[in-house]
Structure 1
Amino acid sequence: MNLPFPIRTECPPGACVCDREALLADPNADLRILRLTREEEKRLVDRLENLSSLADLRKMEARMHDQLGIVVTITPSAREVRTTRGIHIQLADQPGLCRKTKQNIPAAIRRSMERHPEIAYAILDGYDLVGQGGLDLSGGDE
C-alpha cells in the first residue's frame, strides 16, 4: 500500500501487539497513528518531557488527538497521591499504537511533572484534591 506520507516501520515479530498489518489492510481504518514514525516519536517524547504548564499539557493532548488519534487520560489515584506515580496516565487502546509508544508517552509526561510539580498540582486541583474544599491547614481552632 502506497501512502502519501511516511509511516512507522513494523516492529520485530512478537515484540508488539499493535496490529499494524490489519490496520493497513482495512480500507476504512484511521491511519493517523502510523504517521508517528520512530523519529517523530522521539520528537514527541522530547516535547512532552519539556512541558512547562498544565495548559501546555492540555494543548499537547489535543494535538496528539487531532493529529494521531491518541487519547490520553490523566487522573489521580483513588487512594493517595504522594508522588507523580500516584497520577495515572493512560493511552486508550488503538489499532496501530505500538506497545513501546504506549509506555514512552506516559513516562515522558511523568518526567515533565517531576521537573515542574505545578503541573501535577494543577491536575490534582482540577479534582479538588489540593483546592479550597479540603482540609483547613491554617492551624486555627474554630
Structure 2
Amino acid sequence: MSIAPPFPIRKECPPGACVCGREALLVDRADAGAGTEPAPADLRVLSLTREEERKLLAHIEQLASYEELLRLEQRLRSLLGVELRITPSARGVRTVRGLAIELLERPGLCRKTREAVPAALRRRLDQQPEIVYALLNARDLLGE
C-alpha cells in the first residue's frame, strides 16, 4: 500500500533501468504513515518529474556566475533534499575535467538524473570558465 504525496511525483523508470528505490520509498512512507511515528522518508526528491528535470537542466545551462551556482546548490538542497558536490582534484585543476561533480545518491533520485545534472553543469563550466575560477578562488586554490 502506498500513500501518494500531495504533489505530482516522478513516474517510475522501466524495470531494470534504474535502482533509485522509488517504490520502496513510497512503501516506507505508507508504512510509517500508518503508525503514530513521523514518516522517515523524504519524498521531496520525487517532485523532480521529468518535465521539472528538463527545466533544471535548462537552468543549469544558463548559469552565468558563481553566485548563481551557489544559489542552485542551495535550492537543490532546500527544495529536493539533494546534495550537489563539486570538488577539485587533489592533483590540481587544469580543465573542468579536474572537478568531480556529482549529485549524491539518495533514495528516489533517478540514476539518469544523477548523471544528467553533472553533465549539464560540466558543459556549462566548459563554456563559462570564470565560474570555475571563482569556485577555485573560493576554496583558495588559486592562492589569491
What does residue range 6-17 of structure 1 map to in structure 2 within 5 Å? Answer: 6-17=8-19
For residues 42-93 of structure 1, what are the alpha-carbon distances to aligned partners after superposition, in whole Å with 9 as ceiling and x for unaligned?
A: 0001101110011000001101111100101111111131210111112112
Match of residue 137 from structure 1: none
The residue type paired with residue 86 of structure 1 is G
Give yes or no for the alignment of 1:105 onto 2:107. no
Shift of 1:3: 2.5
Question: Gapped runs of 5+ residues in structure 1?
Answer: 133-142
Out of 122, 135, 138, the residue aligned to residue 134 of structure 2 is: 122
Q: Which runs of 4+ in 1 moved over 6 A?
A: none
Tell me if the contact between 2:137 and 2:143 (Cα under 8 Å) persists in the aligned partners.
yes
Match of residue 7 from structure 2: 5
TM-score if structure 1 supplies the norm length?
0.89
* 1:75 aligned counterpart, secondary structure: strand
Q: Which moved more, 1:11-20 or 1:106-115?
A: 106-115
Tell me if the contact between 2:88 and 2:99 (Cα under 8 Å) persists in the aligned partners.
yes
Q: How many residue pairs align between the two structures?
A: 132
* 1:13 aligned counterpart, secondary structure: coil
Give yes or no for the alignment of 1:61 onto 2:73. yes
The residue type paired with residue 6 of structure 2 is P
Q: Which moved more, 1:16-25 or 1:75-84?
A: 75-84
What does residue range 33-48 of structure 1 map to in structure 2 within 5 Å? Answer: 33-48=45-60
**Cα-Cα RMSD:** 1.0
Out of 60, 83, 86, the residue aligned to residue 98 of structure 2 is: 86
Shift of 1:127: 2.4
* 1:94 aligned counterpart, secondary structure: coil
Match of residue 32 from structure 2: none
Match of residue 24 from structure 1: 26
Query: Separation in 2 of the partners of 1:16 and 1:43?
Result: 21
Tell me if the contact between 2:5 and 2:43 (Cα under 8 Å) persists in the aligned partners.
no
